[in-house]
Structures are given as structure tokens and as C-alpha cells.
Amino acid sequence: MKVELAKPNPPKVKSAKSSGPFSIMWREIVKDKLALGSLILLGLILIIVYGASLLLDQEKIVTVDLLSIYDPPSAAHLLGTDYGGRDILGQLIIGAKNSFTIGFFITIIAGCIGLSVGLCAGYFGGKVDNIIMRIIDFVLILPTLMLIIVFVSIAPTYNVYSFIMIMSAFLWTGKARLIRSKTLAERELDYVNASKTMGTPDWKIIFREVLPNLSSIIIVNLTLNLAGNIGIESGLTFLGFGLPESTPSLGTLVSYASNPDVLQNKWWIWLPASVLILVLMLCINFIGQALTRAADARQRLG
Amino acid sequence: MLKFILRRFLIMIPQLIILSILIFALAKAMPGDALTGQLASSPKMDAQTLMELKQKLGLLDPPYVQYLRWMKGLLHGDLGMSVIHQTPVTQLLAGRIGNTLLLSFAILILSYLIAIPLGIIGGRWTNSWADKMIVGYNYLTYATPLFIFALLMLFIFGFVLGWFPSGGSVDIRVEDGSFAYYMSKLNHLILPAFSGAIVSTTITIQYLRNEIIDTKIKDFVKTARAKGVNESNVYTRHILRNSFLPIAAFLGYEIVYLIGGSVFLESIYGYPGIGQLFVASISQRDFSVVTALVMISGLATLIGTLLSDIILSAVDPRIRIE
């Protein structure tokens, strides 16, 4: 029983095929000039920061130089020096690298926890869902910022890894709730039922079938979270409860401004770091907005 | 309705108990206990007397006994002793909680005063130049971390322009209770309150703007227009009435934001309130104060979300849990 079908025109086939989430996202970013500009700027900043931190000698930057305390910007120190005569530009680059890397890892870890908890609660429903939702409700009413600060100050061995863990432990709940509600809706659809009838194991349905359908929402959420997490991290470091001193972040440079003299007279120490945090967060948010539109077909530009 | 409130209240009780257990466990994990607070004046004490004293104060009892005693103290308003200040924590709080409440209240009022007109303008004249400005403003405030914004405000208005004082809650030279005293208090409040308010307007503006855009094409609005209701009455009587109530309901959630915000605002502006006390106590390792503050903030957050849920369910019957 061989039926030879007439070959349709190849280009038509191509256009009839619905494009995947990634090509839609890309199209949306390119359509939105602000998002495209942000993406380019963010890419440039990251290349410069990560590239330069490879070339920079960290030892040399953190070495105290008593002869050049609080030097204003000059040819030797493009952005001047701090109270220990250390080069601000070098600290800015290392700080940006640390802030972004740590924000990124917090986003990924909190994302993974939130994702798996949310998928389980939404997919299995019933008792599992009930218990998980009670836990999430509880974490949401905690005074998060204060508890993070308390944990940071009583952690027995405090380093970058424990900081990432403490942050992730508090920041997964919002994502879990979002993913749960989306999974709840997805689970009622026919394709999941069909798969169940065919005897596909639950984990396979969850990860191979439900998860890909949520991918665009997850990416949007992670992008917006990344911006938020960089903000929270630098804010905590600013207060003195973030990264340990051995790993300076952008917040460390901003925190020098708690000294009124630095805030008032030595702008080159804290202003560049503040502006860099702002630019990073704005860029990531603009990209996130474009991705949000891509995830919601009604809002797309084209 | 009453049933919902009752049920929502009952959910709160286990949450409160778990919260207190968590905080008690944290307090136990912190170095130093109630004894260290009371004995700081006589540091030289041999191990024997120390053990006896610990026995007497019940610090060697099993944890659950200690927890129950701690809870009993809490319910009676006894929050323990501050190690650093050598005063009861309640006394320490009494002097500062007023400042934080004042600041939070000012932030709330200001943020509504800014957000509601902007939201209405944005929703009513969508895609006008004013709306585009408002959307841009929203992007900016959404992305700006509070501490950077507060720092920039302090730099510009406190130092470069010198319009406002750069720290404290009141000028110490003015007489307590006089007119100048209240004016000075107000003057110290303006900068932190504006910093907190501007960053927190985003959600209200966004919500109001979307709500108006959605509502203004609905049938009942068309009917009102067709009846000959003039345009400003269409907005005030028909559209806004529906949109305002949920905003009022977000008030409770706003408390959660205000608690976190007070930590940053008060440390940047040197404003003597709860947030500044918290940061100072953590740095000085004054953990009885820290425990009390976390407990109070947890309670405030709980009450805030409770309030919001009740108002929301009163406004929107679909939310009620059955």
C-alpha cells in the first residue's frame, strides 16, 4: 500500500511549520530595538568584564598602596583609588564578574528547586500539592531579608557557596508557585491523558512532555529573576551581609558610600558601581520584557 | 464571609507556631543566651556559679520547656534583655518603633499619591506621550534597587543641593514637642519617604493602568457613554470604582515590602528605627534584639497578608476559599 504523495512546494512547508519558542524569542528581541540594544550592551559588558578579569592581576588590585589613598581619576588609575589606594576600575571589573556569576548561580539553583517542586505539586496534585503549597505559603510570609541576614551572620563556615545556598533556600517559592499553576493547567490537556493511557511513566511525562511546553515561561521568569537576584545580592553586600570580603562585589564598592565623606566628595568610588548595577538590571529587564511578549502570543509585536 | 475570615484566621495559627519555633531554633543557634545578657557587668565568674545560675534560669532544661517559657514571655510582652544596651528589648523597641511606623506610613501615602494619578493618566490616554513617559518611568523604577536609588537621592538632595538633612530623624537642637520639633521631624522624613515611595509605585501604576485599559472597552462603559454620561464621570464613577478596591487590598502585601525596605532606608539615612536597630544589633552580635525583631517582623508580615486576603475576598467573592 504505497501512496505516492505529490510533493508540495518546499518553501510552503517551511512556512507552515510553527516556529519553536527560541526562534520566536529571537524574533521578538530583534523587533524590539530597546531589547536588542540591551542584549548587545549586556553582551559587551559581559565580554569586557569576563575578558578583562582574565587579564587582570587580582593580587595587584587588592594590594594596599599607601601612597595613593583616595586618588581622584587619573591616567594611572582611570577611576581613581579607594581608602587603601586600590584601583577602583580593577575592583569594578572583579566586582561585576562576581556579582553576575553569583546572581546567575542563585537564579539557576533557586530555579531548579522551584521548577522541580512546582512540577511535582502541579502534576501530582492532591495531597502532594496540598503539603507543598502549605510549605510555600509559609515561606512566603517569612521576613525573608531579615532571615537571610540572620543566617548569613550565624553560618558557621561562611563563604560564597553558603551565601548562594542561603539565598536559594528563600528565593525558590515564587517560581514554584508559578510553575505549579501552569502545570496544573497543562495536566488537564489531552496530550498528557493520552500519554498516561499509553503507560508512559510519570517522570517521562513531566520532563519530556510537560516541561518543554513550559520552557518559554521558565526562561522569562529566570531572566527577570536574574536581574532581581543581582539587585538583592549587591544590596546585601552593601549592608555588609552579602559576599565575604575575599570576593568583592559591586555592592562592596557601593558600600564605601556609607562613609559620608566618600559619598559627598569621592564620587568615583561608588558612582560607577551604582551605575553599572543599574545598567545591568535595566538591560536584563528590557530583554525580559521582550521575552515575556514572546511567551504570550497576544502581546507579540510580530 | 465570616466563615472565610474565621478559616483564614485558623490557617494563621499553625503558621505563627511554626514561625516561632523556627525563630526559637535560630535564637538557640546564635552565640550567647539570656544569661550572657544579664551577666555582662560581672564577666569574672567561675564555672560552678555559672552552672548554678544557668540551672536557676532554666537554660539547662530540655529545649521544649525553654521554648514554652519563651513563648509565655512573648505573650506577656517580655522580649528578653539586650546584651549591648543592658535594657529590656521592649524598652529599646519602644523608642524606635514610632519612627519606623511614621516612615512606613509616609511611604505608603506618598506612593499612592504618586501612583494613582500616573496610573489613571496612563490608562486613560494610552499611547499618548504622557503614557509613554509613565511606562518609561515604570521600567526605571522597577529595575532600580532601593539602596542605589536612596543613595543617589541622598547624594543629590542631601549633599550636592543640600536641601534636606542627610541623617537622623530630628534635629537634636530643637526643643522636644515644639513646632520647630515637628517641622524638623518632617524635614528629616521627606528624603527617605520619597526614596521608598518612588521605588514602590511600580506595581500600583502597572495594575491601575492595565485595569483601566481592560475596563474601558467593556460593555457597561459603552452603555454609560451611550447614556450620555460625560467622559470624566465615566472614569470616576464607572471605571475607577472597580479598579480601586484591589489596590486597597494590596496594602497588606505592601507591609512585607516596607519591612525589607526599612532595613535599607534606615541604614542609608541613619534614621533611628527598627531596620537600623536590626542592622546594628546584628553587627554588634546583640542576638536577643535580633530575635525579637525577626519575630515582630514575622508577625507584621502575617497580619499584613491576612489583611490583604480579607480585603481581597470582600472585594472579589471568587477568591474565597470554600
* Yes or no, beta carbons of A281 and B31 under 8 Å apart: no
The predicted structure's pLDDT at residue A11: 47
Q: What is the CA radius of gyration of chain A?
A: 24
Say if B135 is an interface residue toward chain A (CB within 8 Å): no
Asked if the Cβ–Cβ distance from B301 to A281 is below 8 Å, we say no
Torsions phi, psi of A71, nearest 5? -70, 130
Nearest to A254 among B142, B151, B301 (CB): B151
What pLDDT does A41 receive? 92
Interchain CB distance below 8 Å, B159 and A278: no
Please report residues of B whose CB lies closer than 8 A to that of A138. 15, 18-19
CA distance A99 to A87: 18
Q: Which of A138, A145, A154 sits opposite B30 (nearest CB)?
A: A154
Nearest to A285 among B139, B166, B298 (CB): B139
Measured between CA atoms, the residue of chain A closest to residue B270 is A258
Distance to chain A for B221, nearest Cα, Å: 23
Residues from chain B that touch A278, judged by Cβ atoms under 8 A, are 143-144, 148
Residue of B nearest to A284 (CA): B143
Check CB contact of A202 with chain B, cutoff 8 Å. Answer: no
Suggest the residue from A239, A270, A283 to mutate for an interface test with chain B (most B CBs closer than 10 A): A239
- Test the B interface: residue of A33, A38, A154, A250 with most B CBs within 10 Å: A154
Contact A282 B154 (CB under 8 A): no
Query: What pTM did the predictor assign?
Result: 0.82
B143 vs A282: CB contact, 8 Å cut-off? Answer: yes
In Å, the largest CA–CA distance within chain A is 90
3-state secondary structure chain A: CCCCCCCCCHHHHHHHCCCCHHHHHHHHHHHCHHHHHHHHHHHHHHHHHHHHHHHCCHHHHHCCCHHHCCCCCCCCCCCCECCCCCEHHHHHHHHHHHHHHHHHHHHHHHHHHHHHHHHHHHHHCHHHHHHHHHHHHHHHCCCHHHHHHHHHHHCCCCCHHHHHHHHHHHHCHHHHHHHHHHHHHHHCCHHHHHHHHCCCCHHHHHHHHHHHHHHHHHHHHHHHHHHHHHHHHHHHHHHCCCCCCCCCCHHHHHHHHHCHHHHHHCHHHHHHHHHHHHHHHHHHHHHHHHHHHHHCCCCCCC
Interface check B31 vs A, CB under 8 A = yes
- Do A235 and B297 lie within an 8 Å CB cutoff? no
The predicted structure's pLDDT at residue A112: 93
B83 backbone dihedrals φ, ψ, rounded to 5°: -70, -45
pLDDT given at position A18: 61
B148, B286, B303: best to mutate for the A interface, most A CBs within 10 A: B148
Look up the ipTM and state it.
0.81
Nearest chain A residue to B260, by CA: A145
Q: In this predicted structure, what is the pLDDT of residue A12?
A: 45
* Mutation to test the B interface, candidates A32, A133, A136, A142, most B Cβ within 10 Å: A142
- With beta carbons under 8 A apart, name residues in chain A contacting B30: 150, 154
Q: Please answer yes or no on whether A285 and B142 come within 8 Å at the CB atom.
A: yes
Residue of B nearest to A289 (CA): B139
Question: Which residue in the set B18, B159, B301 is minimally distant from A143, CB to CB?
Answer: B301
**Which of B148, B159, B256 has the CB atom closest to A263's CB atom?**
B159
Q: For chain A, say whether B20 makes contact (Cβ under 8 Å).
A: no
pLDDT of the residue at A115 = 92
Q: Which residue of A has its CA nearest to B253?
A: A141
Residues of B in contact with A280 (CB under 8 A): none
CA of B229 vs chain A CAs: smallest distance (Å): 32
A to B CB pairs, distance under 8 Å: 108
Flag residues of chain A having pLDDT under 70. Answer: 1-19, 57-71, 74-80, 83-85, 297-299, 301-302
Chain A CB within 8 Å of residue B106 CB: no
Q: Which residues in chain B have Cβ-Cβ distances shorter than 8 Å to A276?
A: none
The A residues from 153 to 182 touching B (CB cutoff 8 Å) are 153-154
Nearest CA in chain A to B269: A258
Kindly give the confidence (pLDDT) of every residue in chain B, 322 residues in length, as a single tens digit, with 9 standing for 90 and above. 777 788 888 888 888 888 888 888 887 777 655 555 555 445 556 667 767 766 666 666 777 787 888 788 777 777 777 777 778 888 888 888 888 888 888 998 999 899 989 988 888 888 889 888 998 898 888 888 888 998 888 888 887 787 777 777 676 666 676 777 777 777 788 888 888 899 888 888 888 888 888 888 888 888 888 888 888 888 887 888 777 777 777 777 787 788 888 888 888 888 888 888 888 888 877 778 888 888 888 888 888 888 888 877 777 666 555 4
pLDDT at residue A266 in the model: 79
Per-residue pLDDT at A284: 92
